[in-house]
Amino acid sequence: MKILVTGGAGFIGSHVTDMFVDEGHDVVVVDDLSAGRREQVNPRAKFYQVDIRSPELSQVFESERPEVVDHHAARANVRESMEKPILYADVNILGSLNLLECSRRFGVRKFIYISTGGAEYGEPDYLPVDEEHPIRPLCPYGTSKHTVEHYLPIYQRQYGLDYTTLRYANVYGPRQDPFGEAGVVAIFAERMLHGRQAIINGSGEQERDFVYVEDYARANVLALAKGSGAAYNLASGKGTSVNVIFRLLSRLTNYRLEEVHGPPKPGEVFKIYLSIEKARRELGWEPRIGLEEGLQRTVDYFAGR
């Protein structure tokens, strides 16, 4: 089938594109290259450099007529969203609505929406967090991603646009940007491999739910045929502290500098990990790559091995 992947030049979207192509699908990538890189786009995919907010997007839909839209494009930095909430509403909400309108107008059958499990629930009432947990985001990023989830059932009921929402936890792996503010695994790995000081924000006891990027790509393939009208947490189901990540990467990179802590960052949840029982039951998905194996693969990538 023909699938349009937004953000397909980015870290996660490029891996999703690769897997769709490997599965034999005809893939079209839309990316404005504000965060993605052209060289990460699979050579067997067709590429358009277009902002998802742009009126030009409808021309892509008119020309390509995709059956499925897989929507990864977003501003996704918790800390930046605290400083630029209007930008996050503009890109993540209005950009998504532009996509939904194009999908409605040009007969898209299925819309796979990438949301956040790490930022939309807020500080959890219980662990692991399931899909029924109250939504109480602590930052504009989490709010902007969840807001779009309220539009999807409307487009399904009114226009017949089927959808599946995938709520990601903390993804890591090859191609993650090691020079941004988000993505602790890539940031630590790059600094450690080059013998530069890696800084742990806050106590380091904050816990996250880490999943290797290849496992997320596989979930998108499953969502092509499953998960109609539902939202799913995609995670490992267990929390790992930033201190543990630091120490595992230190061992894998032969890092010799001491552990240094900086101030905590505003807008971040302290401890969260997600239940994946619903995804296991209805999508047939669970992660296959364990944390140590995934970290080793990531280190090997950044080391050029």
Tell me the catalytic residues.
141
Beta strands 68-71 and 110-116, pairing class? parallel
Dihedral angle over CA of 230, 102, 61, 177, nearest 10: -60
Q: Taking Cα atoms as reference points, which of 43, 35, 279, 296 lies closest to residue 180?
A: 35
123-129 contact pairs (CB < 8 A, 24+)? 123/269, 123/270, 123/271, 123/272, 124/269, 124/271, 124/272, 127/239, 127/271, 127/272, 127/273, 128/235, 128/237, 128/238, 128/273, 128/274, 128/275, 129/233, 129/272, 129/273, 129/274, 129/275
Q: Taking Cα atoms as reference points, which of 216, 89, 82, 201 lies closest to residue 139?
A: 82
Q: Is residue 144 within 8 Å of residue 82, measured between CB atoms?
A: no
> Please, which residues bridge with residue 232 across strands?
166
Q: Which residues fall within 8 angstroms of residue 214, CB to CB, at 6 or more apart?
A: 15, 19, 173, 288, 289
Dihedral angle over CA of 199, 205, 209, 211, nearest 10: 40
Residue 254 burial (CB count, 10 A): 9
The torsion region of residue 81 among left (phi > 0), alpha (psi -120 to 50) and beta comes to alpha
Can you read off the two tokens belonging to residue 226?
A: 């499953």
Local structure of residue 91 (DSSP, 8 states): I
